[in-house]
Structure 1
């Protein structure tokens, strides 16, 4: 009998997902009918019989739902966005840009970059159809884009070089129109100095930086510095390259920054690949693990910004990935960071939110036990919780999310920071440039 059961289970698991859903649904209906008792089989008063029938159907349906292939998927993912439950570092953080920015890294393609942010392949193909050069992105180039009210790609900007930018705008035919822009200004290096008084963002803007330039400085130093712990009088020196056209500053690029806090100097310098490194050419970003568990588990529900919930029948974004795993499985922090939230979140059950630097956040939901507290510093690989089935969940699983710049991305495909550094000729050229830049970053 056991051998027959194993054979049936193996055959069921080998079926395509749509077939498993249909077969599972038919099983539930069959079993529900089997346990149902029509009124004329009971020797009771009609009023009592009706109540019994209703209670039997509800109880058995809830119990049998866990037999479906979607048993490990949440009923409702109406959990708050990170900006709702995680406090900002400084007051100026409330000015969140409406566009998303990305610097092209080695191995990136237009499809791999936009797909991790949930942008439809149809829109990506429409972009390439408007400009086939988009197939040839180079390391260090910048992309920025915005979405319309329906969550579709509305516009994209491709900064090919300091001088050339191509802008793509959605048209009435759901295609994209490309408009080139070539700047012919004069680039000049500028050093701006100052001291912290109030928030860091307000202090550097008072020294002469624009809000965008201030944001670039914060991102360059985010892995070394907790900006909430800066003290009045801490000094900074910032090296910018700005393009001037007809007496106006058109665009700029952060080349290097020096920040002195608590008697210690912190540096970040830009390399040709668009990333920031320390004075020796070592990467500043802390490496991330791809999975929040010791081993990889089956994905029961993937990332989908326009997911049709199989239980509620409503279209709602599934902002993370569900891993089907037993209750009590250790859940690990995927990167160094700080615990911002550790509590019961209603539909999310027991959940944890971690902040990694300034751009990255991860969230872990439906946990059975929390092992960390808000404000606690954690390292990559630390055990932070045990998995469970709390909140609105139909089966044991871990719901895992990754957010970059307050935008949910696919945890399985997102380009996450890696421990890296320069080597060979790239490092030699970088160090030669850094020697010049560092000599300019003096402090008053």
Structure 2
């Protein structure tokens, strides 16, 4: 368009925006905004509209070569790609169920240009072979948003149900019930009018994809009109050990979780006098506690410790054994798969494997065995030790650390009308963007 014509068009537009009839404007700023082209969608560092995008998940029997062959790439080129990429990523390490993306040429041939594999929700591997062949690993942007929530327990409603009905993650309730107050408050027996205030962080990927509660910074829980404070504090920066303490620096946790599986039921208890009809009522002692759950349910380490065994043997199937100290060890049987190896240090609550049916078992469960001084005992009848108390040197630093957090927590107001507003949520700030 010639400069003179551009000026004429510009004056016409200005005239349209400024002209009015009796009732309305002919043009508005909103009309102008619709002319602004949106930013092209990017993912994994690529502009997606430049490609035909094919998404799928790794299925049983899939391999890197078979995926590319299905998309019209021959084996000589596949071999060349795999050889040049192997220093950055071993193409044999593709796990069933994990997503992958193919970026293909935006034409009728749809020739693959790039293979992207996601081993988890954050990390991804790029194998590019459009011109030259190169591979690299990267991470999606992670944003942590700090929020506060307050709530009052209505009559006949548990805290998990309350969270779900108000659009919050039930994991927030789980973390309070099983990770923070497990030995202080029985969340199965909360009362109408019990109330709480919590400061926590939510995790987002690529700025908008919500992936759940990251952690809880501080909680005030009023149960039976008695206040219970909890503050998160790192006691061992080398091993990354984090505990929760009250406002007087007393550890709220015990050394052991009550069980290795969340939201499970006990299907068979420790019983040295057990007799089973199938075996003619012969004495067959059961030295473990069975927690029934669906196959694939995560199994958690019940305490900090070092993995002494991670193997498969006889009726135990696949199992993990953890040495916690000179007195206590635990064992977890019949796993579908282990998530740790011998020598690994694990923290309380870490996923060490998944529920399965390996070995001698009639259904999916984990047989949880507990040793004290080398003898198997019933964990549910033990007076389990409290978690390691905070040292005197750390106590001073801890009290200084929680002082401003406690002031902030105390200043948060809880709505009185819990029938109308059972939970109130506020988004405070973006803590971190990685």
Normalised to the residue count of structure 2, the TM-score between the two structures is 0.36
Normalised to the residue count of structure 1, the TM-score between the two structures is 0.35
Higher helix share: 1
RCO comparison, higher one (Cα < 8 Å, 6+): 1
Higher strand share: 2
Structure 1 or 2, whichever has the larger Rg, is: 2
